[in-house]
Amino acid sequence: MTVSWFDKSTKINEMEITDEFDIVSVDEPSNTVAQRLQNLGNEGVVLVADESGKVIGYITNREILWIVAEGYYPPEVRADQIMDTDFMEVVGEETLGDVLPMISERYPNAIVVIDYEGECIGYFSKSDYKDALAGLGCYDKSHEPVTPEEWLTKGIAMSATGKSSEALECYENYIAVFPDRERAWFEMARKFEKEGRLRDAGLCYDKYVSINPTDVNGWYNRGNVFAALRNYTQAVQSFGRALQIEPENVAILKNLGMILSDVGKFDAAIATFEKAEAICGETDELWYKKGNVYDKSEQEKKAIRCYERAIRLNNDHEDAWFNKGAALHIWGKEKKAIKCFEEVLRINPNNGSAREAMAICAENKRFGFF
């Protein structure tokens, strides 16, 4: 397939999207998945589908190597326990011109092609994506961008395919002409964030929100960057501005709650999580997060109650069981703590921390320290 720089009308389903993937059910054992991957080649991927046939995750050689490195027994590990869920769905009838900008916004690890009924019809591999960008002229020096918009398009393509220095050059060429157009600043910020250059990302987000102060994504991403930099004042400010735009955005409320807890504003953190709960309903995640806040503020009884609510909603919540056990240990309830760590090991037999905690509790119980 040959596509010129200006021809973006090629449909996804006109590309080679039927190779390099296989589909398994959620309960497929990992050793079988590994065998299927071996037959697919280096860029092969196994998609995981639920009972209705909808793809809910994917597995590559990376996930198989992880379970081996962690010491798990592959026949006992199901596909849905190791699958990655960072994937994006695109409709086969959509064109490259429509899809490539969306992909560059998300930077997904995998792209599943579906029909209008939602049924999987193919897999858009990284090489497919790279070939599409190449077809659009991104690697063809004879089609070097001329207009600022073409520099921006190429910059997005370079960034999405890991060509950092080339992407930066493209964005700078665009900004040299249009310094007050926000898109390039946002794309540069995302590029720096992905590379771990958080200070540079923060500066770009600063510029972006100064130009477009009503975009919730700009403030939300800025908050995440400053939280990672441990600049909690700026992080709280950013999440606050984002909530002014979307006051019922649960993801923002969750991140703000965690930051408030980190800086010791425990009452505000609990109130923030409860606001999120009022919007989305009670979840094991929110009860677990509230338990962690109470644990940090040394209110162990309240922490235990929160962990119990999380467990009631999800009996396989490994971290809630572990933290409940740790809180009971601090409270001096060694026998109950041991039962919690036993539940952790039921869920994850390879949790070494739970085994160590059980040993400590058993030793304290034996010598009557509590």
The reply to whether 74 falls in a domain is yes
Could you say which of 116, 135, 154 is where a domain stops? 135
Please tell me the total count of domains within the chain. 2
Euclidean distance between CA atoms 100 and 129, whole angstroms: 8
pLDDT digits (tens, 9 = 90+) for 225-265: 999 999 999 999 999 999 999 999 999 999 999 999 999 99
Structural domain contains residue 63: yes
Query: What CATH number does the domain containing 54 carry?
Result: 3.10.580.10
Alpha-carbon gap, residue 254 to 242, rounded angstroms: 12
Which amino acid, one-letter code, is at 346? R
pLDDT reported for residue 109:
65
Greatest mean pLDDT among 8-12, 75-79, 100-104, 268-272: 268-272
* 333 found inside a domain: yes
What confidence score (pLDDT) does residue 4 get?
34
Q: Would 193 be classed as within a structural domain?
A: no
Q: Which of 120, 135, 150 is the last residue of a domain?
A: 135
CATH number at residue 359: 1.25.40.10
Segments forming the whole domain that contains residue 50: 12-135
pLDDT digits (tens, 9 = 90+) for 139-176: 444 456 667 877 887 787 777 666 788 889 889 999 99
The single residue listed with the structure tokens 């999987």 is: 120
Residue 52 pLDDT: 82
Work out the mean pLDDT of the chain and round it to a whole number.
84
Which pLDDT does position 342 carry in this prediction?
A: 95
Q: Quick one: pLDDT at residue 211?
A: 96
Last residue of a domain, one of 95, 115, 135: 135
Percent of the chain with pLDDT over 70: 83
Q: What angle do CA 143, 147, 148 make, to 5 degrees?
A: 120
Q: pLDDT for 40-50, tens place per residue? A: 766 678 999 88
CA atoms of 43 and 50, how far apart (whole Å): 23
pLDDT given for residue 88 in this prediction: 83
Query: Which residue has tokens 């921390």?
Result: 353
The model's pTM: 0.63
